[in-house]
Amino acid sequence: MDAQLNLSKLYRLYLEKCVEERRRPASRKVYIKVFKTMNRSFHVPKKDQCPVCTRWNFLLPAEKEGEKANYDAHLLRAKRARELKNEIKEKINQCEKGFESAKLYNVDLQKVLETPKSEAGPIFYKRKLAIYNLTVYDLNSREGICNLWDQTYGKRGSNETCTVLFNLMKTNGDVRKFYFVTDCCGGQFRNQFMVAMYVFSIMTLPNVQEINHIFLESGHTQQEGDTMHACIERAAKNVPVFTIEGWRTICLLARINPFPYIVNVIDDHKYWSDFHQLGEDLIKNKKKSTDRTTVLWNKIKYIRVCKDAPSLVYFKYDFESNFKSFDIRMGSGNASESELQLKKAYPKRLPLAAAKY
């Protein structure tokens, strides 16, 4: 039933109908009892609804005719992204040729964990310390990793996401092929700094032979890794939290089966590498593809970098066409040793706004 309805509204409508038809109404208690036997419920809309699909639902029939092609293409991209992810997952499970040493990960940044968290009135109205949680979920083994830090040790941009993924590939020394599935957020994932990190990984990590990044269609980014966020939010319900260690405990206890989440608390500003600077040094060309067309970053759905051609970045705008590519060093020679040196992103701990003290 419509989300705007509830039992109180339904009973009021029932009373109005009884008055109109001059019938004696049943009591509220009886009405609710009968309603519960009818196998009915109130629709609860999704929190993250697709703006394209929502807009489509409100268009007039005549307006839909002119936009049907774009809307169908939008749904097809969403469907193919999920199908491709499931195909890769199955190939890894079956250890098919080329996937014997491959990993498939969902990567997502959870909504800000405000701290302290309490029902106490004075705390409720105070400004909170922001705790960030970048989750990495292995779709095959179901291993989940929580990476926690507060806003004084790092931000929530591409330096942070790149550092976590680079260290993940570095510590998985027996994995030759990586697949990452994320949303298409430009600030965190779909940008030149992520590409620079992939190229750097291919050049410097001997185990990494190929890196693939699949971007889910905007508005259809629900993925298996979201269960981590749901478990953490459920475990934190009605539990007061005053420090990042409190969030660490909640993450550890959020899931029991098949095994608890791994929780990394990052409490050192020197942990983060400056992939912004690396991107500026390493990516000399990001606009022109090898076929001399302009690279449309906001439409890229798939990125691939390979060991046998580290300066070439392969990309697709959809999942049906062949790969295009662009050469990051176009006309500027090979990368020097200085360009391959990772620097620290932050020279000191990040300041906290005075209003939060």
What would the pLDDT profile of 328-350 be if each residue is shown by its tens digit? 987 655 555 455 789 999 999 99
pLDDT at 337: 45
Average pLDDT over residues 281-304: 94
Average pLDDT over residues 42-67: 80
Domain assignment present for residue 70? The answer is no
**DSSP letter, residue 176:** -
**DSSP letter, residue 347:** S
pLDDT at 283: 92
Average pLDDT over residues 128-147: 96
Residue 252 reports pLDDT greater than 90: yes
Residue 43 reports pLDDT greater than 70: no
pLDDT at 46: 55
Domain assignment present for residue 311? The answer is yes
Q: Do residues 251 and 232 touch, judged by C-beta distance below 8 A?
A: yes
Q: Classify residue 169 as exposed, middle or buried by CB count within 10 Å of its CB (0-12, 13-18, 19+).
A: buried
| Phi/psi at 168 (5° precision) | -65, -45
Which two tokens mark 20? 């109109």
| Phi/psi at 242 (5° precision) | -120, -15
Domain assignment present for residue 71? The answer is no
- The C-alpha atoms of residue 313 and residue 286 are separated, in whole angstroms, by 9
Distances (CA, A) of 263 to 136, 172, 232: 10, 17, 12
Domain assignment present for residue 133? The answer is yes
pLDDT at 2: 57
Which two tokens mark 115? 């701290």
| Cis preceding-peptide flag for 122 (omega within 30 of 0) | no
Which two tokens mark 124? 């409720």
Domain assignment present for residue 75? The answer is no
pLDDT at 334: 52
- The secondary structure of 257-268 as a DSSP string is SS-PPEEEE---
- The C-alpha atoms of residue 225 and residue 216 are separated, in whole angstroms, by 13
**Greater model confidence, 48 or 38:** 38
Domain assignment present for residue 172? The answer is yes
Average pLDDT over residues 70-98: 92
pLDDT in tens, 145-193: 999 999 999 999 999 999 999 999 999 999 999 999 999 998 999 999 9
| Arithmetic mean of pLDDT over the chain | 90
Q: What is the pTM of this model?
A: 0.84
CA-closest candidate to residue 133, choices 177, 89, 95, 164: 164
Number of domains in the chain: 1
Alpha helices in 172-272, H assignment, sequence order:
192-204, 226-236, 244-253
For residue 102, count other CB atoms closer than 10 A to its CB: 20
Determine the 3-state secondary structure of 200 from DSSP: helix
pLDDT at 181: 96
pLDDT at 47: 57
pLDDT at 125: 63
For residue 122, give its domain range.
82-356
Average pLDDT over residues 247-275: 95
Which two tokens mark 31? 């009405």
For residue 89, count other CB atoms closer than 10 A to its CB: 17
Domain assignment present for residue 337? The answer is yes
Name residue, tokens 């620097």.
343
